[in-house]
Amino acid sequence: MLSDKNGNAPAANINRRRAPSLYESIFKKQQWHRPYADALMEGDTAKIPGAVSCAEQAIFARFVELTATPENGDETADLRKAIDALSDLKKGLAEAESSVRG
């Protein structure tokens, strides 16, 4: 069996080098993903409104970009779901604040 100086089979080395680009081509990370995840994961209730606003801006910007492309159905659906989730988060936060106040 052929191997390199570390005892690894050459095919295994080639596959490892290709894995990141294959991963990236399958799972394309969009710029709105990070602010969206940050808003959902924010633990400080005082920071949630700002995080939600940042995520909404990033999502809106992506909506605008997608209007110029003919094939945008899957991501557009994801963006709508993200907006719905952020809306639910804002409603939940508002309900929690109103129950504390009164």
pLDDT for position 1: 44
Whether 47 and 72 map to the same domain: the answer is yes
Is there a single domain that holds both residue 66 and residue 93?
A: yes
Please give the distance of CA 10 from its chain centroid, rounded to a whole number.
35
Whether residue 23 is found in the same domain as residue 35:
no
**Domain match, 47 and 90 both:** yes
In order of 9, 32, 48, 63, 99, the CA distances from 43 in angstroms are 46, 19, 8, 27, 19
Q: What is the pLDDT of residue 10?
A: 52
Per-residue pLDDT tens, the chain, 102 aa: give them.
445 566 655 554 444 455 555 555 555 688 999 999 999 999 999 999 999 999 999 999 999 999 888 777 889 999 999 999 999 999 999 998 888 876
Same domain, 54 and 5: no
Range of the domain at 49: 31-101
Q: How far is CA 97 from CA 30, 80, 86, in A?
A: 32, 26, 16
Three-state DSSP state, 70: coil
36, 72: one domain: yes
Cβ 55 vs Cβ 38: under 8 Å: yes
